[in-house]
A and B are shown apart, each in its own frame.
Chain A
Amino acid sequence: MSTLLEVTDLSVAYGKIMAVKGISFNVDKGEIVTLIGSNGAGKSTTLRTISGLLAPKSGTITFKGEKINGLQGHDVVKKGITQSPEGRRIFPRMTVSENLDLGAFLRNDKSEIAADYDRVLELFPRLRERLTQKAGTMSGGEQQMLAVARAMMGRPELLLLDEPSMGLAPVLVELIFDTIVKIREQGTTILLVEQNALAALDVADRAYVLESGSVKMSGNATELASNDEVTKAYLGG
């Protein structure tokens, strides 16, 4: 399988505080890869850096063989990487359908956009009932669906999902993870960041365990899920 995203020796700092300390990982085409770890491990910082919202201190990020670190956020989207950010960050005073339109902001192919619009509404039928509702008035779970759907509207090659299960009821968590699997089946590669390690390892092919800014372990998701150390630290076993 070909490597889609390659992160090499990446370090990111907030002022003098190093949040990510030289991590390396890669995502192959068609995979679901997850970064797991506790609060403050540097997972979200890594995703924000890939998306161009933060500039790395050192290291490189290549996407399809092309260096993308140092690009502005909007240029990263042009390359084919979209993100559903932590805390959803939907546009609260816009309707659901306006939010979805913005997800396709850089695209001009009207008929394809319409097709994707139907596709994401099929993935999240609940949103169809809410198209004209102001996004800020929806429940947390609905907002999360919208955030993922909005990121899908960019028709990315690589979809970054930051904590999609945060603050959701168990039944919704299950729905979100089922949808993640469906999205991959439709051909989108996914890099997933999660605190809910159990659910993440369940859907992922490979995983990297982050701890205070470094990769502590990595490997096949099913193997990691049965690893004693991982179980003890992250799976509450």
Chain B
Amino acid sequence: MTQAAAVEKVAVRQYKGTPGQIRRRRIELTAGLVLGALVMVWIVANLINSPTQFAQVFILGFRNGLLYALIALGYTLVYGIIELINFAHGDLFMLGTLFSSYFITVWFGQETSNLAGWLTFFAALIAAMAFCGGLNILIERFAYRRLRRAPKIAPLITAVGVSFILQFIGIKWNGSTPRNWPKVLPQSEFTVLGVHIAWNTVILLLVAAPLLLLLSWVVTKTRQGKAMRATAQDQDAARLMGIDVNRTISFTFAIGGALAGAAGLLYQQTTGTTNYNLGFQLGLIAFTSAVLGGIGNLNGAVLGAVLIGIIQGLNDGLPIGLGQKWSQTVVFTILILIMVFKPAGLLGKSTTEKV
């Protein structure tokens, strides 16, 4: 073979990166496969061991996942539009749980699952969404708007500050220890094929799923949604289209807040407890979900949240497993793995942009 022909033959082979990159990819792939196989073995072992229990914790995990999704969307919506990680968002959720508790039990005096209790629950849903949505508008207006053109670190630190403010409001309102509340949702459960399902799980699904569909409709089909997507991509260009950017950003905060309010009510009514630091605990998990799915991506946030919910549910509830004490470790290990191997998240933006 002549040298030219040899060179040509080499050139025809597709370029797959430097030897280092190839080695790295190979290691990643192997590690991924091993990890995947371990998880599969674990799931199958549990499935054989006790299928009904598996189904039960799976459903519970899925339910928690939807709850995380409602919160995660608030992180991802705000990040998508102004590239701010709104650390105060979890605490807004926490205030949502407190508002719901007071609304149902203190202001409307409902303690049992009857018609009045039910009606109050739906009134509380609307009220909590309005409360958290409105509060989020105010937070954006007074804490973040003036910093929109400042270096990114300034609004980020401000968000941490707002988080503290909300937490202290939570301490003032709730007290510094967890509080128990009566639930107005039915506490009974029903059995399908030996699997116990609580009615409040069904109700949570029936409230959360339409909210997620509604959000998706607003963002993809309405004028406001169009304005949101345009503002997210280029604020000045959006202005030149006649879009009121400030109003659009307020609207985005309102939606994110409203979802957190709904999540607050649902959490309070399924667990029956509130605590001032809930925002930190669930907020971090929701944030992890948003990152897992690809921050800024709405479908990603829901996918990430449901995955985290299910993984957490399986880990906490299955007889063969690490158990609840490792719950947070598992969740944040996933966060670290995602940050290292797939920083853009599962559904992260991939469109190449020419300039």
Q: Chain A interface (Cβ within 8 Å of chain B)?
A: 51-53, 72-74, 77-78, 82-83, 85, 87, 89-94, 98, 101-103, 105-106, 134, 136-140, 143, 150-151, 154
> Would A89 and B230 count as touching, CB distance under 8 A?
no
> Would B240 and A91 count as touching, CB distance under 8 A?
no
In the complex, A93 Cα to B232 Cα: how many Å? 10
> Would B239 and A52 count as touching, CB distance under 8 A?
yes
Q: Return B25 CB to nearest CB of chain A, in Å.
A: 25
What residues of chain A lie closer than 8 Å to B355, measured between beta carbons? 87
What are some 28 contacts across the A-B interface (CB < 8 A)?
A52-B239, A53-B239, A53-B240, A72-B244, A74-B239, A74-B241, A74-B243, A74-B245, A77-B239, A77-B240, A83-B240, A85-B237, A87-B355, A90-B237, A91-B230, A92-B233, A93-B233, A93-B353, A94-B233, A102-B238, A105-B230, A105-B241, A105-B242, A136-B353, A137-B353, A137-B354, A150-B241, A154-B242
Q: Give the residue name and chain of the A residue nearest to B350 (CB).
A: A93
What residues of chain B lie closer than 8 Å to A82, measured between beta carbons? 240
> Would B349 and A139 count as touching, CB distance under 8 A?
no
In the complex, A103 Cα to B240 Cα: how many Å? 8
What residues of chain B lie closer than 8 Å to A106, measured between beta carbons? 241-242
Q: Judge if B189 is at the interface, Cβ distance under 8 Å.
A: no
Q: Return A158 CB to nearest CB of chain B, in Å.
A: 13
What residues of chain B lie closer than 8 Å to A101, measured between beta carbons? 226
Q: Chain B interface (Cβ within 8 Å of chain A)?
A: 223, 226-227, 229-230, 233-234, 236-245, 349, 351-355
Please tell me which one of the listed residues B223, B229, B244, B354 contacts residue A74 in the complex, with CB atoms under 8 A apart.
B244
What residues of chain A lie closer than 8 Å to B226, measured between beta carbons? 98, 101-102, 105
Among B230, B240, B242, the one with the most A-chain Cβ atoms within 10 Å of its Cβ is: B240
In the complex, A101 Cα to B242 Cα: how many Å? 12
> Would B349 and A93 count as touching, CB distance under 8 A?
yes
List of 5 A-B pairs having minimum Cβ-Cβ separation, nearest first: A73-B239, A77-B242, A106-B242, A89-B237, A136-B353
> Would A140 and B240 count as touching, CB distance under 8 A?
no
Q: Return A227 CB to nearest CB of chain B, in Å.
A: 33
In the complex, A43 Cα to B118 Cα: how many Å? 63
In the complex, A92 Cα to B349 Cα: how many Å? 12
Inter-chain residue pair count (beta carbon < 8 A)? 83
> Would B241 and A94 count as touching, CB distance under 8 A?
no
What residues of chain A lie closer than 8 Å to B241, measured between beta carbons? 74, 77, 102-103, 105-106, 150, 154
What residues of chain B lie closer than 8 Å to A134, measured between beta carbons? 351
What residues of chain B lie closer than 8 Å to A78, measured between beta carbons? 242
In the complex, A87 Cα to B351 Cα: how many Å? 19
What residues of chain A lie closer than 8 Å to B230, measured between beta carbons? 91, 94, 102, 105
Contacts A85-B237, A91-B237, A101-B226 hold; do A143 and B243 have CB atoms under 8 A apart? no
Q: Give the residue name and chain of the B residue nearest to A102 (CB).
A: B241
> Would A138 and B236 count as touching, CB distance under 8 A?
no
Q: Return A188 CB to nearest CB of chain B, in Å.
A: 16
In the complex, besides A87-B355, A90-B237, A92-B353, 11 extra interface pairs with C-beta distance below 8 angstroms are A53-B240, A85-B237, A89-B236, A89-B240, A92-B351, A94-B229, A103-B241, A105-B241, A137-B351, A140-B354, A150-B241
Q: Give the residue name and chain of the B residue nearest to A151 (CB).
A: B240
In the complex, A134 Cα to B230 Cα: how many Å? 14
> Would B243 and A105 count as touching, CB distance under 8 A?
yes
What residues of chain A lie closer than 8 Å to B352, measured between beta carbons? 136-137
> Would B240 and A73 count as touching, CB distance under 8 A?
yes
What residues of chain B lie closer than 8 Å to A53, measured between beta carbons? 236, 239-240
Q: Return B149 CB to nearest CB of chain A, in Å.
A: 12
In the complex, A92 Cα to B230 Cα: how many Å? 10
What residues of chain B lie closer than 8 Å to A72, measured between beta carbons? 239, 244
In the complex, A92 Cα to B354 Cα: how many Å? 8
In the complex, A90 Cα to B230 Cα: how many Å? 10
Q: Return A110 CB to nearest CB of chain B, in Å.
A: 13
What residues of chain B lie closer than 8 Å to A138, measured between beta carbons? 354
Please tell me which one of the listed residues A85, A136, A143 contacts residue B240 in the complex, with CB atoms under 8 A apart.
A85
Among A52, A93, A139, the one with the most B-chain Cβ atoms within 10 Å of its Cβ is: A93
In the complex, A92 Cα to B353 Cα: how many Å? 7
> Would B351 and A91 count as touching, CB distance under 8 A?
no
Please tell me which one of the listed residues A74, A89, A90, A143 contacts residue B242 in the complex, with CB atoms under 8 A apart.
A74
In the complex, A151 Cα to B239 Cα: how many Å? 12
What residues of chain B lie closer than 8 Å to A87, measured between beta carbons? 355
> Would B354 and A143 count as touching, CB distance under 8 A?
yes
Q: Give the residue name and chain of the A residue nearest to B223 (CB).
A: A105
Contacts A53-B236, A73-B240 hold; do A93 and B245 have CB atoms under 8 A apart? no
What residues of chain B lie closer than 8 Å to A103, measured between beta carbons? 241
Q: Return A79 CB to nearest CB of chain B, in Å.
A: 10
In the complex, A136 Cα to B354 Cα: how many Å? 6
What residues of chain B lie closer than 8 Å to A93, measured between beta carbons? 233, 349, 351, 353
Q: Give the residue name and chain of the A residue nearest to B233 (CB).
A: A91
